[in-house]
Amino acid sequence: MIATKSDTILSLLTLVGLDTEASYPALESLGDARYLRDLKINLGNVLNNNQNLSKKESLLLALSIAVNEKQQPLVDSLTTLAKAEGATDAEIAEILACTSLLSTNNVFYRFRHFVEKDYYNQTQPGIRMSIMMNPVLGKEFFELVSLAVSAVNGCELCVKSHEDSVLKHGASEARVFEAIRLAAVVKGFITLI
């Protein structure tokens, strides 16, 4: 007997453009639990109802988290949704590159922070980061994506640095807050797909 997906699950999958016919065992094991209704509302709010992020920016931020978490079906669906909101191939490529760079930096700088030895802290990292110099999406948004990925990856040093930088590039704390809330909700959703 094939179990049918609840309306809440179908609505959740449709919200992010995922295949409603595919199997999502963890998600489906929750049936129509209250948590899924909350998740649907939370995900809808962070993707569609941000006062400080455009729909395109919300989708690009969500895409960066999906890339970071290696969730290819979600990467594909969010790419399609972001393009429908006007994201260019160059902007999508920059999200992929930024996420990769931040994953690299988060490991390196977390190590420095954890160990706290002079040699490691004073030695040049030797990690090229030319993508940060003139980003297609602009410095402020590039820093916002960097902050969101760093928060998901738990790099305290990177979070503090990117939060400071994004504010210096003109973002408000409300915009930062919404970006981090979005990253948190998307990460939570990914744990179930």
Q: Which residues are catalytic?
A: 155, 158
Q: What is the CA radius of gyration of the chain?
A: 18
Gap between the Cα atoms of 98 and 102, Å rounded? 6
Residue 143: CB atoms within 10 A of its CB come to 26
SS3 178: helix
Q: Show the CA angle centred on residue 165, arms to residues 64 and 170, nearest 5°.
A: 95
CB 43 within 8 A of CB 186: yes
* Residue 23 to residue 19: CA distance in whole angstroms: 9
Q: How far, in Å, CA of 132 to CA of 151, rounded?
A: 18
